[in-house]
Structure 1
Amino acid sequence: MQDIGAPSVSLQLCITSLNKLPLFVWFLKQHNSEFGVSDMAEKESIHSFGDWRRIPICTFFQDARLVFKADSLGREILSIALPAAMALTADPIASLVDTAFIGQIGPVELAAVGVSIALFNQVSRIAIFPLVSVTTSFVAEEDTLSGANPQTEEGRCLEAGQPTDTETKELLPQKGGNVHNSDFVGESFNIAKEERKRRHIPSASSAIFIGGILGLIQAIFLISAAKPLLNFMGVTSDSPMLHPAKQYLKLRSLGAPAVLLSLAMQGVFRGFKDTKTPLYATVAGDVTNIALDPLFMFVFRLGVSGAAIAHVISQYLISVILLWRLLEQVDLIPPSINHLQLDRFLKNGFLLLMRVIAVTFCVTLAASLAARQGPTSMAAFQVCLQVWLAVSLLADGLAVAGQAILAGAFANKDFNRATATASRVLQMGLVLGLALAFILGTGLHFGAKIFTQDANVLHLIQIGIPFIAVTQPLNSLAFVFDGVNFGASDFAYSAFSMVVVAILSIISLLILSSAGGFIGIWVALTIYMGLRAFAGFLRIGTGSGPWEFLRSS
């Protein structure tokens, strides 16, 4: 007969199974106080059935209940992500207004400027993405290690037994003391404070140096090769678009150094976890662009040249604002050329260049395959693609936040903070993707007529809407995973995994587009984004590369 005081074998198995469930662990943690369980007993209980946390894949579910909670980590992520997303959306909005003004001149000029902008952006993208991504991570690492954060400085002073700012103020002569000594000490204190405020971040100097050089190279290249490049884009020598397109491209290329410099400085500010300064500068520049467009185009009768000049002025304004703010915080002049980390930038920048080419090739191939199916298919594809890419800017804000926080955490070897940040931004990305899927799935059915009145194009857009909506969670996760990998300085994996994803996606595009036409292209793009998300998931989920600590924690 079984002993009544001992649990049965089946009951033991049941308890063992429950102990492996994350929900059960959370329930016990929440209600231990109600059951009168002590803190020590709770820790022992959690430790006894917390083995599930050792599995790297469980990182994605860590503290999932906090995804909507405005705790310190959540507030920090949102304080970086929201301004970053707003800054990223400011330029497309300004471009739409720009396009509306140019459209008032005529359809030929509108088409010509469209080709020139596409060419300029394509060339710029090759340099911009690697430069900004590498700069953000490196600056965040150096800023963290230099202890530039006031809280970090105070903590280090306390640990070393040195006086903090508060203690220093108490040592200064108070009212009624020696005025001359007080002035001298106060002046010395202000000088010391100013010196400490402006610090030297080698990566910031390197980024601006490289950005300026790349901007000059881009300007020279586009100005000198404007005609053959436009011919390559389909603007033939006898086309009426050639003259306005060449005119616009050459003038706009004068702003290339400002574009590269401003984006390099945006990467620096992102590394400082400051996305508000770039937002203010971007808005100021875009408002200036919108204000100058009608003045130069219609009052001074400069046409498309006026639009290009307005844009160039706005870009230099953004650069000046960012440089002014940056000089207040950083000493940008390095002691010598050896202090510039050019080799580190170039090595990782080249890896991300591979990645950019792989990404660009996939999307460009999809557009090319849609164009081969006729103007109706191409028009519908362009509308769907622009919506598909535009909403991704919101996820990019989360990616920027994750990258900046993670880079600092890895620099400090604070793996608990790294794990918490990665899981939180990924969970927030998934929630964002699900919300966008619902909004786009319902809204586009009613709002498609905003883009066109053509019945055939609208029919294809309706076919593409389910793909746009369903892929939003995948898109959000893929973009946030990019930020997570960049924050861990895992640039090699990001590059080579993207090349593999691109190869598989190109094969699926070629096969499915020939078999399924317009639908086949979108099925292939869904596979493409799914593979991108899976590549990011695989790195953390297996606890490999910089995430090896997940298997031993």
Structure 2
Amino acid sequence: MTQAPPAPQVVRRRHDREIIALAVPAFGALVAEPLFVLADSAIVGHLGTRRLAGLGIASALLTTAVSVFVFLAYATTAAVARRVGAGDLRAAIRQGMDGIWLALLLGAAVIVLTLPAAPGLVDLFGASSTAAPYAVTYLRISALGIPAMLVVLAATGVLRGLQDTKTPLYVAVAGFVANAALNAALVYGAGLGIAGSAWGTVIAQCAMAVVYLRVVVRGARRHGASLRPDAAGIRASAHAGAPLLVRTLSLRAILLIATAVAARLGDADVAAHQIILSLWSLLAFALDAIAIAGQAIIGRYLGAGDTMGARNACRRMVEWGIAAGVVLGVLVILARPVFLPLFTSDTAVTGAALPALVIVALSQPISGIVFVLDGVLMGAGDGPYLAGAMLLTLAVFAPAALLVPALGGGLTAVWAAMTLMMAVRMLTLWLRARSGRWLVTGATR
């Protein structure tokens, strides 16, 4: 006698529990990450404008460098989750170790390139002669912590693949607290100035990496997984991450183009753009938390050979993405009178920001679908398609955005182009999800 399949509402409740269990801690960890820069800015800001300007330039360079390698987390999550679904925890952790070794190699390469190139990179950002020395000092010291930052990315991917997003939350919160305390002690107590802030961040990042490594090493010993570097495994991790690197670089290009176009519109427009972009990034953290849950859950289902479970989970997460987008959009509309005065009292800036803010609010359900399907396809290891889709999106967005100064429309038109970009992404991701070609089962893709 065959057992009847579970009722649809039972399946939905099961997926809801999985999504909540993974997404809520992931959101907390995501929000904690930008607080590092915020804490540094708050402490260094009291040292003077030149030092704060130097910190701003160096932080932008560091953030860009680290964000380029976010594939270390994404690709590792998908690969580890597949092996978890296949029931091979030993191979899952071995796969994670390959990602960590790749992170160390990339981090060492970044140090070698950054230390001598620091003055040139700072000049490229147009730093003033008074701010440049502080930017170079902060950049050179902080670059020493990049290997630790990349290890944190890769190890976070390992734990997410193991269906654990709570440990990254605890480590991120502890790291933020340690970073703030060390910055205050070294900047003011030891009198090291901006160098103290950089060293505090390096120490905090290294401590976080050590904690992650202890967790992963403990798991490796428990399941008999080798900790030694494996050239073939490292190459496989790099190969899996390469398409996601293309995807990330394309997205960064889109954001840089949007900022460059806003800058051509005038000071008020670019100031308003920065405010809106900050809000857009914060909203992205909330939606990305569901995407992270998607990476872990989808990878596990496909590793177990359960295509129906993967489809059902995908459908439910899309519903979550739409609902979250609607809620966030409503909150943006309601918070407009309070949000903008937090950043500026300039009526020209608020006048440019208000209509663009409405566009951001209305586009949040689209963003919800995009982030979720992006996470689903990452969890499926569908990196080559994601790379191609993002290149297509860049090809559509770039001319639309670059025509704004000539055609008019101001900042509102820039954010209309951003919404067009998200709509193109939604279409490409939806077509792929609907095709079912991403449903490739097995412990490896």
TM-score strictly above 0.5: yes
Pairwise CA RMSD of aligned residues? 2.3
Please tell me whether residue 368 in structure 1 is matched to residue 260 in structure 2. yes
**Which of the numbers 411, 419, 426 marks the counterpart of 1:526?**
419
CA deviation after TM superposition for structure 1 residue 200, in Å: 6.6
Q: Which residue of 1 aligns with 2:429?
A: 536
With 294-303 and 378-387 compared, the bigger mean Cα shift is at 294-303
Quickly say closer, same or farther: Cα 1:548–1:325, change in 2 above 3 A. Answer: closer
Please tell me whether residue 431 in structure 1 is matched to residue 343 in structure 2. no
Tell me, which stretches of 5 or more residues in structure 1 are unaligned? 1-38, 44-61, 149-197
Distance of 2:126 and 2:97 partners within structure 1 = 40
Specify the structure having the higher radius of gyration (Cα): 1
Distance of 1:79 and 1:138 partners within structure 2 = 20
- Tell me the secondary structure at the aligned position of residue 341 of structure 1: helix
Look up the equivalent residue of 1:502 and give its one-letter code: L
Q: Which residue of 1 aligns with 2:171?
A: 281
What are the equivalent positions in structure 2 for 1:3-402 lying under 5 Å apart? 71-127=13-69, 129-148=70-89, 201-235=93-127, 239-331=129-221, 334=226, 340-402=232-294
Distance of 2:49 and 2:59 partners within structure 1 = 15
Distance of 1:222 and 1:323 partners within structure 2 = 25
Look up the equivalent residue of 2:298 and give its one-letter code: L
- Tell me the secondary structure at the aligned position of residue 505 of structure 1: helix
- Tell me the secondary structure at the aligned position of residue 347 of structure 1: helix
Percentage of pairs with the same residue:
29
Please tell me whether residue 496 in structure 1 is matched to residue 388 in structure 2. yes
Distance of 1:227 and 1:362 partners within structure 2 = 26
Quickly say closer, same or farther: Cα 1:373–1:421, change in 2 above 3 A. Answer: same
Distance of 2:440 and 2:120 partners within structure 1 = 49
Distance of 2:228 and 2:50 partners within structure 1 = 51
Distance of 1:548 and 1:346 partners within structure 2 = 20
Look up the equivalent residue of 1:357 and give its one-letter code: L
Distance of 1:446 and 1:284 partners within structure 2 = 31
CA deviation after TM superposition for structure 1 residue 548, in Å: 8.8
Query: Does the CA-based 8 Å contact 2:276-2:357 persist in structure 1?
Result: yes
Write the deviation string for residues 510-534 of structure 1: whole angstroms up to 9, x where unpaired: 1234312212111100101111111
Write the deviation string for residues 444-497 of structure 1: whole angstroms up to 9, x where unpaired: 233210011112111112122101211111112111111110111111111101
Distance of 2:259 and 2:130 partners within structure 1 = 24
Quickly say closer, same or farther: Cα 1:458–1:254, change in 2 above 3 A. Answer: same
- Tell me the secondary structure at the aligned position of residue 191 of structure 2: coil
Distance of 2:234 and 2:103 partners within structure 1 = 12
Quickly say closer, same or farther: Cα 1:450–1:419, change in 2 above 3 A. Answer: same
Query: Does the CA-based 8 Å contact 1:371-1:377 persist in structure 2?
Result: yes
Write the deviation string for residues 96-117 of structure 1: whole angstroms up to 9, x where unpaired: 2321111111111111110100
Look up the equivalent residue of 1:104 and give its one-letter code: H
Query: Does the CA-based 8 Å contact 1:406-1:418 persist in structure 2?
Result: yes
With 510-519 and 71-80 compared, the bigger mean Cα shift is at 510-519
What are the equivalent positions in structure 2 for 1:449-488 lying under 5 Å apart? 449-488=341-380
Query: Does the CA-based 8 Å contact 2:93-2:216 persist in structure 1?
Result: no
Look up the equivalent residue of 1:221 and give its one-letter code: L
CA deviation after TM superposition for structure 1 residue 333, in Å: 6.5
Query: Does the CA-based 8 Å contact 1:226-1:246 persist in structure 2?
Result: yes
CA deviation after TM superposition for structure 1 residue 547, in Å: 4.2
Query: Does the CA-based 8 Å contact 1:445-1:462 persist in structure 2?
Result: no
Quickly say closer, same or farther: Cα 1:323–1:446, change in 2 above 3 A. Answer: same
CA deviation after TM superposition for structure 1 residue 339, in Å: 7.2
Structure 1 residue runs of 4+, over 6 Å off? none
Distance of 2:436 and 2:82 partners within structure 1 = 21
Distance of 2:352 and 2:399 partners within structure 1 = 23
Q: Which residue of 2 aligns with 1:509?
A: 401
Write the deviation string for residues 360-401 of structure 1: whole angstroms up to 9, x where unpaired: 101100001111122211111000011011111011111111
Tell me, which stretches of 5 or more residues in structure 2 are unaligned? none
- Tell me the secondary structure at the aligned position of residue 274 of structure 1: coil
With 138-147 and 246-255 compared, the bigger mean Cα shift is at 138-147
- Tell me the secondary structure at the aligned position of residue 326 of structure 2: helix
- Tell me the secondary structure at the aligned position of residue 330 of structure 1: helix
Distance of 2:10 and 2:428 partners within structure 1 = 25
Write the deviation string for residues 58-103 of structure 1: whole angstroms up to 9, x where unpaired: xxxx95x789x6x222111111111011000012233223211111
Query: Does the CA-based 8 Å contact 1:426-1:481 persist in structure 2?
Result: yes
Look up the equivalent residue of 2:82 and give its one-letter code: E
TM-score scaled by length of structure 1:
0.75
Distance of 1:254 and 1:146 partners within structure 2 = 38
Distance of 1:307 and 1:268 partners within structure 2 = 29
Query: Does the CA-based 8 Å contact 1:143-1:201 persist in structure 2?
Result: no
TM-score scaled by length of structure 2:
0.93
Look up the equivalent residue of 2:125 and give its one-letter code: M
Query: Does the CA-based 8 Å contact 2:298-2:313 persist in structure 1?
Result: yes
Report the count of equivalent residues: 436
CA deviation after TM superposition for structure 1 residue 344, in Å: 2.3
Query: Does the CA-based 8 Å contact 2:83-2:92 persist in structure 1?
Result: no
Quickly say closer, same or farther: Cα 1:287–1:304, change in 2 above 3 A. Answer: same
Quickly say closer, same or farther: Cα 1:205–1:547, change in 2 above 3 A. Answer: closer
Quickly say closer, same or farther: Cα 1:303–1:294, change in 2 above 3 A. Answer: same
Write the deviation string for residues 245-273 of structure 1: whole angstroms up to 9, x where unpaired: 00010111110111011111000000001
